[in-house]
Structures are given as structure tokens and as C-alpha cells.
Structure 1
Amino acid sequence: MTTTFYLVRHAAHDNVGGFLAGRTPGIRLGVDGRAQAERLGQRMRREQFDAIHASPRERTQETAQAIVAAREPMPVHTAPELDEVDFGEWSGGTWEVLNQDQRWRNWNSVRSLARTPGGESMLDVQWRVLGLMERLLAEHPEGRVVLVSHADIIKSAVSYVLGLPIDAWPRLEVSPASITTVVLGDWGGKLITLNEVID
């Protein structure tokens, strides 16, 4: 029994990389991001999949809708397990301010031992996304499922598949509107592609 997962990072919002968006409400795809999402949808037409699940954030929902708009309609299931890291009080902060916070520097040095203020740890994140994938493995044996999420969530899943510690996250690149493909089975998992970027 195996299931193929397409781990898709949402397309770019207007200020991607400019601040820590986290779970800040109202962050939607910008003009460039909508064009990215449309190209992603065209790329995903080459893949057959049985279901699509997305984080509750607006930018992931819009990306997922662009994927289904390019093919026969299917429902987009909202999955809290795919949500962005709960950064607590850091959400919405600028890098200039965050870099002055020793807790932020600790978080980026050893995430396995750190927790966001009022939020969660990366081990919490990995636990929740793997729990969802385990459930979908049982629901879609020999199937294919699209999961639209965020960079750190995807990195946590890839780290597990590759047997890497959670602190290996800086070694992995997950770009906006990219596709990372993994296969899971009762024998374990393997990485098929990492960070396929749609031009």
C-alpha cells in the first residue's frame, strides 16, 4: 500500500520574504502570486490525484483553488494540520525586530529545542502533518493526494521522509508555488522530487 503526496507551497503574496506572515489573517496572493498559481494549476493538470487538502490560510486556499480550476472541479478540503507554524506573538513581525529577539535567534539555531512564544515547536508541527498524511494514506491506498501548505510544514515532512533531524530545515529549499513529491507506504517513505519550481 502506497500513497503519493504532492506537497505544494502556496504561491507568493505581495510581500513574501518581507515579514513573518505566519497566521496573520487577510494575507492573500498578489498579482504575481495569482499568475504563479495559475501556472501551477496548468502544471498539475499532468497529474492525476484523488483529493486536495489545503491549510486554512487565504494564500493556500487561493493556490488550491487555482489548481482545481485548471481541471475537473473537485472540493478543496481545509486541513488545520497543514496550517502555518503558530508563531504566537512573532506573527506579522519584521525581520529587523525579530532579529533583535534572542528567542528568535534560538529558534533559528536549534528548532528541536525551541518553541515560539505562545505558539508551538517544530516537533509539534511535524507531528500534526505526519498524522494527517498517515490518515490519508489509509483513506487513499494506491492513490495520489495534493497538500497545499507552507514552507516549514513541507520541510518538516521531508525531513521525516529522509530521516533527517528537524534542525536540518535550512538545508532544504521550498520555494513559493513549488511541488515536492513524496511516496509513503507501510514500508516507510521516499522523496521523489524536491522543490520543483514552475517557471
Structure 2
Amino acid sequence: MTTTFLLVRHAAHDRVGCFLAGRTGDVPLGIAGREQAQRLAARLAGEGIGSIYASPRKRTQETAAAIAAASDVAEVVTTEALDEVDFGDWSGKTFDVLDTDPLWRRWNAMRSLVRAPGGETMLDVQCRAVGLVAALAQRHGQEKVALVSHADVIKTLVCHILGLSSDAWPRFDIAPASVSVLVMGDWGAKIQTLNENVS
């Protein structure tokens, strides 16, 4: 019995790369992001997706809704386990401001050991993401399941499956509206594709 997980990063919001959106407010997709989500949804429509789970953030919900409509999936299940990293006091700050913070620089050098101020560690994130995937593999059997989440959440899950430290996060990209494929069975788990741009 093998469960296939499509690890989908949400489509782009208008300020991707400018500031740390995190859990600040509820950042929606922009016009370009909505178009990107529609292209992604059209590409995934033939994949036979049976269930969709998504982070509670608006940008993931909008991306998941597009996929659900194109794939004829009646419901998107919202789960905190796929939520963005809780960046605490850093949430909403521009990267120019963050780059002046020594703790931010330490975080990016040693994410396995550093906690975001007022937030969580990457090991916290990894624990909730891995726990969700293990539970869903038991629940969904041989179904194909889409998990719509955020770059860092997907990265820490991929690192776990590949046996890498969460500090390996800069060694690969997870682009907006990309899909990475994880398969899991009684024999273990493996990454089949990584950061595929399907939109």
C-alpha cells in the first residue's frame, strides 16, 4: 500500500521575496498569483487527486480551492499542521530589516537549533508536518493526496524524508506553485520529484 502526497507550495502573493509574510494578517494571492494558481490547478486536474489538505493561511486556501475545483474534490480540509512557520516577532518585517538582526542570521545558519523570537523552531515545524503525513498515510491508503502549504514547511518535510538536517534547507528550492511528490508505504518513504514547476 503506497500513499502519494503532492506537496504544493501556494501560488505567489504580490510581495513574495520582499517581506516575511509568515502568519501576519492574512496575505492573499495577487492577480498574478491567482492566474498562477489556475494554471497549477489545470495541470493537476488529471492527477486523480482524492483529498486536499491546506494550511489555514489565505494564500494556501485560495490555491487549494483552485485545485479542488479543477480536480472535482468537494472539500479542502484545513489543518494547523501545514501552517506557515510561526516566526513570532519577525512576522511582517521586510528582509532588509531582518538582515540587520544577528538572531535572524543565526536562524538561517542553524535552523535546527535557533527559535524564532516568540515563535517556533524548525524542529517544531518538522514534527507537526511529519506527524500529519504519517497519520494521513494510514487514513488514505493508496489515495493521492494534495498538501498545500509553505516553502519552509515543505522543505523541512523533504529534509526529514531524505535524512538531512533541517539546516540543509538552502540546498534546494521550493518555488511558488511548485509540486514535489512524496510516496509513503510500509517499506518507508521517498521523494519522487522535487520543486516541479507545473504552472
State the TM-score, normalized to the length of structure 1.
0.98
Q: Which residue is 1:71 aligned to?
A: 71
Unmatched segments (≥5 aa) in structure 1: none
User: How many angstroms does 1:26 deviate by?
Assistant: 2.4
Report 1:33-182 matches (<5 A).
33-182=33-182
2:112 partner SS: helix
Q: Distance in 2 between the 1:26 and 1:190 partners?
A: 33
> Hey, what does 1:193 align to over in structure 2?
193
Q: Is the 8 A contact 2:49 2:71 kept in 1?
A: no
Distance 1:104 1:59 in 2: 24
Aligned counterparts of 1:7 and 1:71: Cα–Cα separation in 2: 16
Distance 1:73 1:183, change over 3 A: closer
Q: Distance in 2 between matches of 1:153 and 1:90?
A: 17
Choose 126-135 or 182-191, whichever is displaced more.
182-191
Q: Supply the RMSD in Å over aligned alpha carbons.
A: 0.9
Q: Which amino acid aligns with 2:24?
A: T
Distance, in Å, in 2 between the alignment partners of 1:96 and 1:147 is 31
SS in 1 for 2:146: strand
SS state at 1:19 partner: coil
The answer (yes or no) to whether the contact 2:81–2:132 under 8 Å persists in 1 is yes
Q: In the aligned structure 1, how far is the partner of 2:151 from the partner of 2:93? A: 17
CA distance in 2, matches of 1:113, 1:73: 39
Whether the 8 Å CA contact 2:49–2:73 is kept in 1: the answer is no
Q: CA deviation at 1:71?
A: 2.8
Q: Give how far 1:73 is off.
A: 3.9
Count of matched residue pairs = 199
Shift of 1:46: 1.7
| Identity rate, percent | 58
SS at match of 1:112: coil
Distance 1:140 1:69 in 2: 20
